[in-house]
Structure 1
């Protein structure tokens, strides 16, 4: 069996304590999380905004920006964003959800009620797919679309995987019942439909095969490149044992689950976007994604999209290799580009093994990587098949991408290009891009509070810098609240 570098129980207990102070100089301060860049600070880039495109993204008219947002929601969002920007609040919320108080019936009810009416209502779409569908209808009336996310992950056995699959399939049914084009993607986490231990084993084997091409994997299907020469391989320090008969049987079941979900999305013409995870299981996730893309992505219509986390040093190289291989095979590929959400745990894992972090050394390097990858993908879709989702909360990255799309002549309302932000985050950027004519989606997790909150709390921990950097949004929200108050009084 492959040597497990860090057991899951240790990984799950890692504390993500990322500083939230602004970057002053790379010499005097340690590198910051990619999420920590204030949205109004321009990332370095060789691209130049064209005046016409810059004028399209108007953040000055707050009345127009927030015209579809009720005052009650503005008040709640402003309060929650302020609270989650405070590191002690995130620490307290995380401690509370993990404490023994959650096992005391009366207190549990009060705690969950408080969370439901604040943090949960701000960042989640509802407790079930039908409620989430109503949230998407409301969002669609405001000119935005939804990326529907059944908020489960980290399945430990086949029974859990089967339950989760039923949830994902039901999500597709709900999307089919909604107004056409109101849902841009159904999101799936491979960690929810394949046991985590098996994903680790597959990743070990794929990494070793990259080290030693003579190492054969009888179960491996056709895929696109998963690694580049700079990809981290330190997770697998010993030659792993082949999959056992039971593991091969479990892999076949996981393949069948993903195939069923992909086929349902193909039948309903709803793109399926595979989320990225920790690097210790990402090779297996990419393997599932790319082998399925080869089967289901046809002509100019990618159904299965992958995710590239651009805070990783090998992100651009892997993107180039994968798209080049897909072109040679005639496979249209779609990618979501994100900065990334696991900085602290990735860095701690690498350091514990005596290796450099796989994350870019500075926030500027991450910004440059995201912007370079965005520019590359925009050029690809302007001249050929494929699609790209630019998932960013950084206003300058949004401006640069909008300007690049304008420069390339990519139509604004274009099925090949989608901008995206988390539900409840970066409302100004979402509505600004939408008002400029671009397609914009909100990433909308749904599920019972008890199911979704651990996921959201991890996101809060891992992205606490992003929440702290939401000052641009909060400033505009306060300005609009002040305008509405003044209008009501006078």
Structure 2
């Protein structure tokens, strides 16, 4: 029997949340060291505290992991396996990305009519390929991405393969994208066992966005009014909570037309084909999140597939929770409770979120407050609380967790708790993840402390991946960016190596 959104369990949500609040949050963990002042905030927020480097270290874990000290202050230890040439190129690229006028000029050029001039475009693309692209992108195709996976595997990391596809709105493009995702999953069979932790899929690349909006409206109206029947709806986990934003759907939507329902079924079949290939290749599938206008439909795709495919103790399919949303904790608790009742091991990727400006703009246009937390502290607290909840849940029970963060404080707290719970190297129920080319100091520090770490590996042709590169350049510009600590530690290590060579 289908679970209609969260409606069938809404009467228990307050009790579940009361029990949730009794859990020990990450912020209550004890440590023998003083936490550093360096906290990197999500780059979609403007509140960025200046990162002042603290050499006091981040404490040590006491669990049954590797027992290695969790520390980020020693560039020599962190980057010991990185060749000097690569370290130099990475440092220069990140320093260039920190110069705001350079990034602003580059963004203007990429979006200008000058790119219609072939010679000029070739020059720009060539420069981009040798700098930002090589730093932030795993390769032009699945074969080059595979070589990057092998390089990372030799260095102690795993890879999350993400073919860099943006939104589409026609079935022909969706079919083509689906084939690319299937090829990506199939490629993992030729790579070292377990070197790829997951294949990443965006539902917006395999289902027309117009269909996602229509399905989201119908799901919202069903949850709001309990007055319509959705004949196409299959058994799923809760999609909404009592605090979820429902203002996108102001009037009763019309049922899906026969053509829309056919397009919807085609998208479901594409996802099924991708999942079947992941199952055959023994690799997990992570489904990315989008904005709240279309997220209900994406959650439906994710949760209904999880009910069908997630069996035993280890999930095959992971959904994404964005902690900057005010309803994130409540939805996570409801989904986990429902999954446990149904015997479905829940896979969760926890992120902070990436649509702050658009969410606030849409909410304001409809006369509602933003669904995003009011400040950066609330977002940090929500992320850490969600992480703590899931760590407790998966330590001795079903499910798995991907902690995707560039925030040193969140990484430190979650790593300490994971080690206290006995979650260490080789335990793939919990892994940390950072974008390729970003937060490398955090990645190496977590890996050196004996924790599972993956790097998120987007790949694709230079022109196709350009929107992704522009976002990364925007995130890294300025002295208060995510890359500030990486730049400082890399520079210190380069200086040390140069001094050692001279002496």
TM-score in terms of structure 1 length: 0.89
- 1:386 lines up with 2:399 in the alignment: yes
Aligned to 2:139: 126
1:335–1:51 CA distance, 2 compared to 1 (3 A):
closer
d(CA) in 1 for partners of 2:60, 2:141: 43
Moved more, 88-97 or 170-179: 88-97
d(CA) in 2 for partners of 1:165, 1:32: 29
- 1:208 lines up with 2:221 in the alignment: yes
1:347–1:88 CA distance, 2 compared to 1 (3 A):
farther
Gaps of 5+ in 1: 1-22, 24-30, 43-47
After superposition, give the CA deviation of every residue in 1:311-362 in whole Å (9 maximum; x if it has no partner).
1111111100101100000000110101111111111221222211111111
| 1:280-299 equivalent positions in 2, closer than 5 A | 280-299=293-312
How far 1:412 moved relative to its partner?
Answer: 3.4
Query: Of the candidates 253, 262, 265, which is equivalent to residue 278 of structure 2?
Result: 265
How far 1:483 moved relative to its partner?
Answer: 0.7
How far 1:163 moved relative to its partner?
Answer: 0.5
Aligned to 2:29: none
SS at match of 1:56: coil
How far 1:74 moved relative to its partner?
Answer: 1.6
- 1:163 lines up with 2:176 in the alignment: yes
- 1:103 lines up with 2:116 in the alignment: yes
Count the aligned residue pairs: 456
- 1:178 lines up with 2:187 in the alignment: no
Aligned to 2:45: 33
d(CA) in 2 for partners of 1:315, 1:339: 10
1:236–1:66 CA distance, 2 compared to 1 (3 A):
same
d(CA) in 2 for partners of 1:342, 1:147: 22
1:426–1:445 CA distance, 2 compared to 1 (3 A):
same
- 1:406 lines up with 2:419 in the alignment: yes
d(CA) in 1 for partners of 2:292, 2:479: 21
| 1:464-479 equivalent positions in 2, closer than 5 A | 468-479=481-492
Moved more, 474-483 or 73-82: 73-82
1:432–1:406 CA distance, 2 compared to 1 (3 A):
same
Aligned to 2:5: none
- 1:347 lines up with 2:366 in the alignment: no
- 1:457 lines up with 2:491 in the alignment: no
Aligned to 1:112: 125
d(CA) in 1 for partners of 2:451, 2:47: 23
After superposition, give the CA deviation of every residue in 1:64-116 in whole Å (9 maximum; x if it has no partner).
21122122222222222223234433332222222111111000100101111
CA contact (8 A) 1:390 1:418 kept: yes
Aligned to 2:442: 429
TM-score in terms of structure 2 length: 0.87
| 1:140-151 equivalent positions in 2, closer than 5 A | 140-151=153-164
Aligned to 2:314: 301
d(CA) in 2 for partners of 1:131, 1:40: 37
Aligned to 1:365: 378
d(CA) in 2 for partners of 1:155, 1:215: 29
1:63–1:193 CA distance, 2 compared to 1 (3 A):
same
d(CA) in 2 for partners of 1:450, 1:95: 15
Give me the CA root mean square deviation. Answer: 2.2
How far 1:126 moved relative to its partner?
Answer: 0.3
1:392–1:32 CA distance, 2 compared to 1 (3 A):
closer
CA contact (8 A) 2:97 2:476 kept: no
How far 1:294 moved relative to its partner?
Answer: 0.5
d(CA) in 2 for partners of 1:41, 1:310: 26
How far 1:144 moved relative to its partner?
Answer: 0.6
SS at match of 2:304: helix
CA contact (8 A) 2:395 2:423 kept: yes
- 1:67 lines up with 2:80 in the alignment: yes
Query: Of the candidates 48, 51, 56, which is equivalent to residue 69 of structure 2?
Result: 56
- 1:276 lines up with 2:318 in the alignment: no
- 1:485 lines up with 2:498 in the alignment: yes
How far 1:232 moved relative to its partner?
Answer: 0.9
How far 1:487 moved relative to its partner?
Answer: 1.4
| 1:7-22 equivalent positions in 2, closer than 5 A | none
